[in-house]
């Protein structure tokens, strides 16, 4: 898998793996899976992940995959509640992300936030952490929230098309990655020049492809 394609998978990791999420999904500081991001060789090299950390992260990643499949399988039961499924998924993902982040030492964690901001681009403005750093106005917040909800609805439709067989896996990645790029451009227009400059600073240096 090329680095560019890896970024596409990362950016879509949560939306693709969890197709049942409702458009009421709450904003989060970690819109993708932390363990998937930390599984990219270029990211591991940049952070200087040790052999012990790699082993810990491998276990955490396996747990994410297994638990996600188990929850989604249970959600297909006629007695299952979609909202309950969403709550279980978010609780599991939040816990998994916390476990992955706990593997990092402070310097690695700070750099991880820079890498995530850079890789996901202006869509990271959906993050409460980033919004606080940028000092969004209430008007900006409302506009960005509308973009976020609209994006969730688009992702849900793309996932339904995939599940129904009218869109293959590669096409879904292509469509969702293109949509994320458009989202980033739309969000950037809402920010002031000073806010855009601040965001660039919290992205840090680029990650070298290996």
Is residue 209 in some structural domain?
Answer: no
For position 154, what pLDDT does the model report? 83
Q: Is 114 exposed, middle or buried (0-12, 13-18, 19+ CB in 10 A)?
A: middle
8 A C-beta contact, residue 129 and residue 136: no
Total domains in the fold of the chain:
1
Structural contact between residues 14 and 33, judged by C-beta atoms closer than 8 angstroms: yes
Element (H, E) at 193: helix 193-201
Structure tokens at 126: 């959906």
- For the chain, how are helix, strand and coil distributed in percent, rounded to 5? 75, 0, 25
Look at residue 98 and tell me if it is in a domain: yes
Give yes or no for a contact between 3 and 209, defined as CB atoms under 8 angstroms apart.
Answer: yes
What pLDDT does residue 198 have? 97
With beta carbons less than 8 A apart as the criterion, state whether 17 and 172 touch.
no
Residue by residue, pLDDT tens for the chain (210 residues) are 444 555 555 555 545 444 444 444 678 898 777 888 898 899 999 999 999 999 999 999 898 888 878 877 776 666 655 556 667 777 788 888 999 999 999 999 999 999 999 988 999 999 999 999 999 999 999 999 999 988 878 877 877 787 788 988 788 888 888 888 899 999 999 999 999 999 999 999 999 876
Token digits of residue 152? 């969730």
Q: Is residue 138 part of a domain?
A: yes
Residue 45 lies in a domain: yes
Does a structural domain hold residue 207? no
Domain that holds residue 110: 3-201
Question: Is residue 84 a part of any domain in this protein?
Answer: yes
> In this structure, is residue 18 part of a structural domain?
yes
């Amino acid at each position: 898998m090329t680095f560019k394609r890896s970024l596409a998978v990362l950016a879509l990791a949560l939306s693709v793996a969890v197709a049942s999420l409702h458009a009421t999904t709450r904003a989060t500081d970690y819109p993708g899976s932390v363990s998937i991001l930390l599984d990219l060789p270029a990211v591991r090299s940049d952070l200087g992940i040790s052999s012990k950390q790699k082993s810990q992260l491998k276990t955490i990643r396996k747990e994410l995959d297994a638990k996600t499949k188990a929850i989604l399988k249970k959600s297909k039961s006629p007695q299952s509640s979609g909202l309950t499924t969403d709550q279980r998924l978010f609780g599991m993902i939040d816990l998994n992300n916390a476990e992955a982040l706990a593997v990092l030492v402070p310097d690695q964690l700070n750099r991880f936030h820079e890498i995530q901001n850079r890789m996901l681009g202006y869509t990271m403005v959906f993050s409460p952490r980033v919004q606080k750093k940028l000092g969004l106005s209430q008007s900006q917040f409302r506009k960005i929230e509308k973009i976020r909800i609209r994006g969730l609805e688009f992702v849900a439709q793309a996932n339904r098309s995939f599940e129904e067989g009218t869109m293959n896996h590669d096409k879904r990645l292509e469509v969702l990655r293109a949509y994320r790029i458009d989202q980033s451009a739309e969000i950037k227009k809402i920010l002031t020049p000073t806010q855009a400059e601040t965001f660039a600073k919290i992205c840090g240096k680029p990650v070298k492809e290996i």
